[in-house]
Chains A and B, each alone.
Chain A
Amino acid sequence: MDFQVVVLAGGNSKSLTPLVSKDVPKPLLPVANHPVLYYVLHQLEESNLKDLIVVVEGEDAGLLVGAWISGTFVDRLHVEIAAVPEDIGTAGALRAISHYLTAKDILVVSGDLVSDVSPGAVAATHRRHDAVVTATLCCVPISGSSESGSSGGKDKTKKPGRYNIIGLDPRKQFLLHIATGAEIEKDTRLQKHLLHAVGQMEIRSDLMDAHMYAFKRSVLQEVLDRKDTFQSLKQDVVPYLVRSQLKSEAVLSGIRQAEEDGNEKVSFPNNQVMVSQILANASTPSFHELYSMDADGSAQTRKTHKCCAYIASSSSYCVRLNSIQAFMDINRDVTGEADHLLSDNVIGPSPKLGTKTTVGPHCMLGEGSEMGDKCQVKRSVIGRHCRIGSHVKVVNSVVMNHVTIGDCCIIQGSVICSNVQLLERVVLKDCQVGAGFVVTAGSEYKGESLARKEK
């Protein structure tokens, strides 16, 4: 279908600090015992997209991700890895691989997206409108309110800062305004001529940019080339394209027209005009076309381009893993309500359970894990080859691989990374324990982030 797929997997992430380390870059952070990148690749594979470019930040991370992909998706996907320097942003990453992009349209997916929104639907919307960019919007998950009270308070303080403001046309097809995060602190500026052209604009704050975009390749490369200050797709490139949709710079449209002219033989130049006019008259004009026409004639004097929005239905699941809270939510949802995201078995084969040990619903136990007597596990994910002693209580938590937990520990709402040792009688509440950390016996922590000192 003439689409190229770029997965921006990222590398280290500051917001996930104790969980993400040199050994476990963000793309490989296990969510319900699968690296988070698995969800994106799986989703793409389901939609028959088997030719991917994965962009990873940092050399080491690139190696790790490459090794994992070649081990997991061998014979299923054709994946190429590009390692880019850190801190050049999403736009920079695309700039780095720009000369590999050849298809007519590019689908850019963030590697930390856990969703069941079909990439095909986004691409189809993009094609249908012949848009320059199509952004996927999904409903903001109502986290915090629905979950248990432990993290509710924390969520409330975080929430207001992360609002998106998105403006749509009345038919919810076109993107008229997009502002995210920091920009909202300031006054929001709307363009008068845009409002004038559309007539009516719907401003929503309950939608979230899912970071799955379809771009027209020529335009994307053009923008990346000319605006070298652009760092991020979400904060720079997409808002720029949306802003300039009614006064598209001549270069953008110039390319497009040249392409079209190249395609069609100019055998009957006069008739060609009529053909395109018939086609144009047959379709309902969007405000772009109406605006581009002058008041008196039909000659297109002003250049425009279209920015579309694909709004995922409210029933679909779509969350980005960009905070620890999101990490907890995704872990819970993937084992619970959104379990269709995982194609394979939720309960690993043959975990060894001691007597009187109960494992509640919405739990996941990796293979080779052992548990002692009289343990309780509720709404938690436990990785592979963990050894858990007796009288241990694990609630609302994520325990990664190769973790040893001593007897009589109580773990609530926490994340415990790989190779951690918890000695006896440790009580953790809302904590994050970095990889390889050893928690001394009998200690109690609440709401802290524990990590090994870097050597």
Chain B
Amino acid sequence: MDPRRTARTVSDPKVRQVGFFTPAPPERSISDPPRFQDPIQPPSPSPTQVNDHSPSGNSLSPVMIPPAHHHSDNFLRTALQVTSPTKAFSYSAKTVTIPPENEDVASSFSPGRKVVSAKSPSSFPGVKASSVPASELTTVSVVNLPPGISEKAGGASVEVQNDRPVSAKTLKEKTSKAERRALQEAQRAAKAAAKAEGTKASSAASKVVTSANTKPSKAAKSSSQKNDGSQVAASEKKGGDRAPEKDRKKDAPHPRMQYDDKSRVEKAKKRAVVKQTEARNRVELFRHLPQYEHGTQLPDLETKFFELDPMHPAVYKVGLQYLSGDIRGGNARCIAMFQAFKEAIKDYSTPPEKTLIRDLTARISSYVSFLIECRPLSISMGNAIKFLKNRIAKLPLALSESEAKSTLMLDIDRFINEKIILSEKVIVKHAVTKIQDGDVLLTYGASSVVEMILLHAHELGKHFHVVVVDSRPKLEGQLLLRRLVRKGLSCTYTHVNAVSCIMQDVTRVFLGASSVLSNGTVYSRVGTACVAMVAHAFRVPVLVCCEAYKFHERVQLDSICFNELGNPDAISKVQGREEINYLDGLVNQENLQLLNLIYDATPSDYVSMIITDYGMIPPTSVPVIVREYRRDHLWS
């Protein structure tokens, strides 16, 4: 294992200085194994010992697991080769721009509108005296909106008017003053031709020349290439900036903000629907992840309930549920999101003068960005959204609106049924073969697939014992435990602190996953890595159950660069036990930082086998699945 490990650390291009301790001498950070391996492996294990530790030495794995030793070197190299470009991108920050939709809404009630009151007070008719309880409604005040088309036209005109300032604004950051001016003048000149204001245009054009001449030094600063680019951008309404990013998006992992980049955070805040206050004390190492004051989001979003016009109620509800933690777990969140989208598509009607494909994609994007504000997307949701957008983009143009809508709704149903439900069933079928009478199975947290496996095995009449390992603060294991005990399984419940004691008796470890990355890393609920490592140390096989739609081509070596930060209050306070809240009053101290991570990454070394809808595979085969699966199914 030693050669492998060095290979990995050396190949990591950037040694991240960890914020917990003062900078260590550089050679230490290279030669030392990563922190997470410390508790299990002695600092310098002998090679033979390592061989024993490898999964092939286990009693399980007659199936497909190749001897990990000689393969891994090879694989790692190839994996790094294949995926290094994506990795580079994954570090670069990106933003998704939302089209400004609020303009229409804001303008629709502007005072300039034609507004007619239905009845003047004098002509107010007497309401009939009725002994019958049913009463009549009398309209006393009316807001008269112009019919749809004229309103749209009005909105369009507003947009046209706004167009110029917007494009100028985007240019402001990139181009020098002279360029901007030249550009404006050029635009004006072009427009003037249509308006038949020849004289003015010519003078303006001459101005362009002079102004460009008088400030050559400034213009020279930026390369000519950039100048061209910006002019193109101006002509197609700030699209130039986004175009290359779009290309990149296709092969890059889901774009995420780097939250330590202040300017981008500011920009994101401006267009955010949910008002979020950034937490002040954040752990240095995780500054690039979003962390908000958790109490502030929900009330604010709630008060805006009626003001978010473009948001569909179903999407809004799901967002609220994400935010308040009412729905959690990768599959459930994905299903809830898709069901909300389905509702939204059902109620959708294409606005006049727009095409369904483009407008619906924009609509879905705005929903997605709203959901991201409520809680960062999981990888599985990212895949699902990609699927949906791809389906929308590939809709035949000839389809009528209702047909297109029903096709999309069927697609969503199909995704839920095939990619989630059916694949869970297949996984259950595979995994049950690994459970024998007398087994002691350990699971961590609450995974929906693992629960199904256990229940199914129980239904088949197998006799086994389940150890449910749980951890604060979510204590999801208790819910799982409750359901298992109800069904009559014999269970043990313990917290992750005791995992090393209980592991001696365990024969198999079943784990769920939020995602499996293409280097075999399992990205899952925090604590999973710890359980997997302990199991590995005790030579207990670790089986990870994960649907193939959760696989992602990204490569992640640690759980730092992508993760999610939970509510720090959740770990500093114990609900219902006021007397042990020792941290009361300390939370806002400058020198205290609380870290509540949601996910962690388990290196593939500790995973014996991944059970997915395509069968049981070793972690090294994940890239194959990612490649084939993508081509055949997700993108079809």
Contact = CB atoms under 8 A, between A and B. Distances in A.
B135 A70 contact: no
B133 A281 contact: no
Contacts of B416: 271, 275
Contacts of B138: 62, 66, 80-83
A120 B331 contact: no
Interface in A49-80: 49-50, 53, 55, 59, 62-63, 66-67, 69-71, 73-80
- Main secondary structure on A side of the interface with B: mixed
A3 B127 contact: no
A83 B127 CA distance: 7
A100 B137 contact: yes
Nearest to B121: A67
Interface in B111-137: 115-121, 124, 126-127, 129-131, 133-137
Kindly name the residue among A66, A84, A97, A267 whose own CB sees the greatest number of chain B CB atoms within 10 A. Answer: A66
B137 A62 contact: no
B29 interface: no
Contacts of B130: 85
B143 A50 contact: yes
Given A121-B299, A281-B479, A70 B119 contact: yes
Given A275-B421, A278-B332, A92 B133 contact: yes
B119 A76 contact: no
A124 B320 contact: yes
A83 B135 contact: yes
Interface magnitude class on chain B: 35 or more
Kindly name the residue among A96, A100, A271, A275 whose own CB sees the greatest number of chain B CB atoms within 10 A. Answer: A275
B306 A75 contact: no
Given A120-B304, A127-B317, A279-B335, A284 B326 contact: yes
Contacts of B127: 59, 62-63, 81, 83
A296 B305 contact: no
B332 A279 contact: yes
A84 B135 CA distance: 6
Contact of B324 (A3, A81, A128): A128
A455 interface: no
Contacts of A49: 306
B486 interface: yes
B451 interface: yes
A427 B502 CA distance: 86
A99 B307 CA distance: 27
A77 B139 CA distance: 11
A200 to B, nearest CB: 9
A296 B500 CA distance: 33
B303 A282 contact: no
Nearest to A95: B133
Contacts of B420: 275, 278
B139 A79 contact: yes
Contacts of A281: 329, 332, 446, 448, 451, 479, 483
Given A80-B139, A92-B133, A75 B115 contact: yes
Contacts of A81: 127, 137-140
A131 to B, nearest CB: 12
B45 interface: no
Interface string B327-341: 111011101100000
A278 B302 contact: no
Interface in A90-104: 92, 95-97, 99-100
A83 B121 CA distance: 16
Interface magnitude class on chain A: 35 or more
Given A70-B140, A79-B141, A275-B416, A47 B117 contact: no
A118 interface: yes
A53 B135 CA distance: 12
A125 interface: yes
Contacts of A275: 335, 416, 420-421
Contacts of B124: 63, 66-67, 70
B162 interface: no
A71 B316 contact: no
B120 A278 contact: no
Interface string A406-446: 00000000000000000000000000000000000000000
A278 B317 CA distance: 18
Kindly name the residue among A78, A128, A267, A295 whose own CB sees the greatest number of chain B CB atoms within 10 A. Answer: A128
A119 to B, nearest CB: 7
Kindly name the residue among B142, B144, B329 whose own CB sees the greatest number of chain A CB atoms within 10 A. Answer: B142
A53 B141 CA distance: 11
A292 B424 CA distance: 27
Contact of A127 (B313, B486, B576): B313
Contacts of B486: 293, 295-298
Nearest to B313: A1
B11 interface: no
A120 B326 contact: no
Interface string B410-449: 0001001100111010000000000000000000001010
Contacts of B365: none
Query: Top 4 A-B pairs ranked by shortest CB distance?
Result: A282-B332, A120-B305, A75-B115, A124-B302
Given A92-B133, A267-B413, A268-B417, 14 more contacts: A63-B126, A76-B143, A78-B139, A78-B141, A120-B303, A120-B305, A127-B316, A128-B321, A275-B416, A275-B421, A281-B479, A284-B479, A285-B479, A298-B486
16 contacts: A50-B143, A70-B118, A78-B143, A83-B136, A88-B133, A99-B134, A123-B305, A128-B326, A271-B422, A274-B424, A275-B421, A282-B327, A282-B332, A283-B321, A284-B479, A293-B486
